[in-house]
Each structure stands twice: as C-alpha cells, then as structure tokens.
Amino acid sequence: MKPTWKQRARQLKTETHALYIAYRDPRVSWPARLFAALVVGYALSPIDLIPDFVPVLGYLDDLLLVPLGIALALKMIPPAVMAESRDKARQAAAEGKPVSRTAAVVIVAIWLLLAAMAIVLVADLFRS
C-alpha cells in the first residue's frame, strides 16, 4: 500500500527528530554533524528561505530542499547511529516529548542575527 501524504509528513518529522538526536552522537563525524545541524535547524525554523506566499517557489523549500537535505544527511551518518536515533525519536514522539522551546529560541535568535547583519551590510552599501 502506498503511503499517504499525512504518513510521509509524519515520517519526515520523525526523521528530522532522529537527525537531531544523531548529530549529537559522538560516533558521527564533525562534517556530518555540521550538515545535519544545519538541516535540522532549517527544517525546524519558523522562517523559510523562500517565503510561502511566493507562488510555487514558496513551497519548494518545504517540498524539495528539506527532504533533499535530510536524505543527504542520512547518507553521512552511520546506519547504526541512525537506527538508534530513529528508535529514540519514535519513543519520544509516543511520549509526546519532541518540543524544545530552547531550540526554537536559538533558531529565531540566529535568524534575527542574520537579518541584522544583512541590514548592516545593505546600509553600508547605500552609504558608499
């Protein structure tokens, strides 16, 4: 039986949480950790690279970039680590755990910092 969109979305959410758990594992190389952290941060970020109100392109990052990033990160992480991380993610989801306000605050702070840096750069360009 072919999985429904709802099942695929749930699986993507579980994979994202499993990646979050996996990138913190010491058996994962630092390039894989960095890439997985970036993918998880972007997937959980309330701010999109391309805003959703932009026709067609707005949902491109949600439908293409996030799954592609997750797929690439999964190839970089050892299968044994991912298997353990998936088990932990499923267990946490069953307990209703995967809510981290601290992670949300950090992600929003990073986006605000990047926005502030962009404003400063643009302001410097116009002063020249």
Per-residue model confidence (pLDDT) at position 96: 73
What pLDDT score does 82 carry? 94
| Contacts of 51 by beta carbon, 8 Å cutoff, 6+ apart | 58
How far out from the chain centre does Cα 70 lie?
8
| Tokens, residue 42 | 């972007």
Q: Give dist(CA 69, CA 75) in Å, integer.
A: 10
Show the CA angle centred on residue 36, arms to residues 30 and 39, nearest 5°: 145
Residue 31 pLDDT: 93
Q: Using CB atoms within 10 Å of the CB of residue 40, give its burial: 0 to 12 exposed, 13 to 18 middle, 19+ buried.
A: buried
pLDDT of res. 100: 66
pTM of the predicted model, to two decimals? 0.66
Domain boundaries defined on the chain = 5-98
Give the pLDDT score at 49: 66
Q: pLDDT 10s per residue in the chain (128 long)?
A: 677 767 776 778 888 889 989 988 999 999 999 999 888 888 877 666 666 677 777 777 777 888 899 999 999 999 999 999 999 988 888 877 656 677 667 777 887 888 899 999 998 888 86
DSSP 56: T
Q: How many CB atoms lie within 10 A of CB 25?
A: 17
Please give the pLDDT value at position 108: 76
58 vs 69: CA distance, rounded Å: 17
pLDDT at residue number 30: 92
